[in-house]
DNA sequence: CCTACCAATCTGGTAGGACCAGTTAAGCGA
DNA sequence: TCGCTTAACTGGTCCTACCAGATTGGTAGG
């Protein structure tokens, strides 16, 4: 479902990030050469170069021709998409990042929902109702609606008529795909989520900004707390 | 300063994006094979693969082994970092994106400034004062303070104690580096910017949320309008 | 002992070829 | 027209090679 690139490249990216972490490299520090890394990781130099191209694009590393590979930013200071990448690679987040993502999501969605109330078109509303129907159908037959949940939230944000907000929220949601999947394993939660989503659409239809922002705030906050509970429970019975 | 990767890879990324645009490819459409692309673009297959690794990481394309390369999202629906990439490659933004970025920046910074008022530590304040001194010095000797402006805004957001907000604002600012550079060519604007920044710090020091959010809203809004005026003027006297 | 210079070495950037194993579509036969 | 075999195609991986600027270590000169 995730990790778009090949296993070797994916490995190289992950191992490079782990290398940076393990050696506690700081901004400006130099990484081993491509040839060196390819030996360490047991992959071709080509794969290492693909990985470095990705890390460069994420503004994590910088390749200086004829010189070396340097850390451009601390891992904490790269972009949002780097977090998605990290999640896709199966690298863990610390609690700080998890909290910050939740807060950022709330702030972002509150504003987006507010704008959606102001600017949503009838077409937006129709789209939301359609997604709601799909959602209800999936809840009925017990499907895991992790993807549909993302699609729904993004559709609401899209109703704000600001595509950059959509681009902002996308990584904020994608980086927690793994948790969302486990979260929606519960039938009770699926049911509760449907109710919340219905309320969203009602508020946006009525252009009721106060209710809409309040609802989404509570929705995301509650979900985050549930996920945290899931995580602690998961940490308890780690039998796998 | 930008476009971290090599010229060939950079070319391949740009040309691939242009190809998608020119042929009006939609989500799910298939791109030519790597070998085909490398011929079209006049670069090695390795460079094409580096480019595709980047586009994959940005969730723009998806490479299915033994099958082909498919468009994963419309260009409009990728992440924020894809916009930075686009800017780095010199690809143009349409007016819609420019407006949306401004609005998103305002929303993001308003919230971040608000939190910064609540949570800023004395260390944060000291850091801001230090950046302010640097800023003043650069204004005095007429330097182009595009980078320092970014650093300052990010430092304020960092005072919100939410690193994800920093990650969010970073691409929003980086994607307009080109314009910011031209913007700060004016001595009057540099002076005005310094005054605004001083006011920011004062408001944050006093934990005055209302003032801080109002100031940053006006600051970003005004800057965006100035840049737009610059753009129109620039479009008028295109002698280069 | 320090400095200045020079050559061997290392680095990223680019090129081209090769093989593998699934995918896909063309073409053949029924 | 339909169904199946097969050959071409595709991404994934590996290998070797060369270029030219950056780096570095050692050496000669002060």
Residue B225 neighbours by CB under 8 Å, 6+ apart: none
- At residue A4 the predicted structure's pLDDT band, cuts being 50, 70 and 90, is low
Q: Report chain B's mean pLDDT, rounded to a whole number.
A: 92
Return the residue of A nearest to B72 by Cα. Answer: A4
| pLDDT at position A238 | 45
Q: What mean pLDDT comes out for the span B11-15?
A: 96
Strand partners, B30: B70
| Domains by residue range for chain B, with CATH | 7-81 (1.10.10.10), 93-236 (1.20.120.530)
- At residue B3 the predicted structure's pLDDT band, cuts being 50, 70 and 90, is low
pLDDT tens by residue, A89-137: 989 888 899 999 999 999 999 999 999 999 999 999 999 999 999 999 9
Output the CA angle B163-B169-B172, nearest 5 degrees.
Answer: 155
pLDDT tens by residue, A170-183: 999 999 888 898 89
Q: Report chain A's mean pLDDT, rounded to a whole number.
A: 91
* Inter-chain touch A57–B54, beta carbons under 8 Å: yes
Output the 3-class SS for B17-33.
HHHHHHCCCCCCCEECC
Please report residues of B whose CB lies closer than 8 A to that of A171: 79-80
Share of chain B above pLDDT 90, in %: 78
Does the nearest atom of strand D lie within 7 Å of A7's Cβ?
Answer: yes
- At residue A237 the predicted structure's pLDDT band, cuts being 50, 70 and 90, is low
- The structure tokens listed for B225 are 């309008």
| pLDDT at position B238 | 45
CB A122 within 8 A of CB A220: no
* Inter-chain touch A164–B57, beta carbons under 8 Å: no
Protein A66 CA to nucleic acid D26 C1', in Å? 22
What is the spatial distance between Cα A110 and Cα A157, in angstroms, rounded to a whole number?
Answer: 9
Q: Does B9 touch chain A if contact means CB atoms closer than 8 Å?
A: yes
Return the residue of B nearest to A75 by Cα. Answer: B167
Which nucleotide's C1' sits nearest to the alpha carbon of A64? C12
Structural Rg of chain B based on CA atoms:
21
What is the spatial distance between Cα B115 and Cα A104, in angstroms, rounded to a whole number?
Answer: 11
* Inter-chain touch A80–B164, beta carbons under 8 Å: yes
Q: Does A118 touch chain B if contact means CB atoms closer than 8 Å?
A: no
Residue B38 neighbours by CB under 8 Å, 6+ apart: B44, B45, B47, B48
* Inter-chain touch B166–A77, beta carbons under 8 Å: yes
What is the spatial distance between Cα B79 and Cα B167, in angstroms, rounded to a whole number?
Answer: 12
Q: Count the Cβ atoms, other than its own, within 10 Å of residue B145.
A: 23
Q: Which helix (H) or strand (E) holds B64?
A: strand B61-64
Q: Does B114 touch chain A if contact means CB atoms closer than 8 Å?
A: no
Does the nearest atom of strand D lie within 7 Å of A45's Cβ?
Answer: yes
What is the spatial distance between Cα B227 and Cα B173, in angstroms, rounded to a whole number?
Answer: 13
A83 or A238, greater pLDDT: A83
């Amino acid at each position: 479902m995730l990790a778009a690139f090949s296993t070797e490249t994916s490995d190289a990216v992950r191992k490079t990030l782990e290398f940076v972490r393990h050696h506690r490299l700081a901004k400006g520090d130099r990484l081993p050469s491509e040839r060196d890394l390819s030996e360490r990781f047991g992959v071709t130099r080509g794969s290492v170069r693909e990985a470095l191209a990705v890390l460069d694009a994420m503004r994590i590393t910088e390749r200086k021709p004829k010189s070396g590979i340097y850390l451009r930013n601390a891992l904490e200071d790269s972009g949002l998409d780097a977090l998605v990448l990290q999640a896709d690679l199966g690298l863990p987040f610390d609690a700080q990042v998890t909290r910050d993502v939740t807060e950022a999501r709330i702030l972002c969605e509150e504003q987006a929902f507010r704008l959606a109330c102001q600017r949503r078109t009838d077409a937006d509303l129709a789209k939301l109702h359609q997604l709601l129907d799909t959602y209800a159908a999936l809840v009925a037959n017990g499907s895991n609606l992790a993807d549909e949940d993302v699609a729904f939230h993004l559709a609401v944000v899209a109703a704000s008529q600001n595509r950059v907000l959509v681009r902002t929220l996308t990584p904020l949601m994608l980086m927690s795909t793994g948790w969302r999947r486990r979260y929606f394993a519960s039938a009770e939660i699926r049911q509760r989520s449907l109710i919340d989503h219905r309320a969203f659409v009602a508020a946006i239809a009525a252009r009721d900004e106060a209710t809409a922002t309040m609802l989404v705030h509570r929705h995301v906050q509650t979900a985050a707390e549930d996920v945290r509970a899931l995580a602690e429970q998961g940490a308890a019975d780690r039998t796998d």
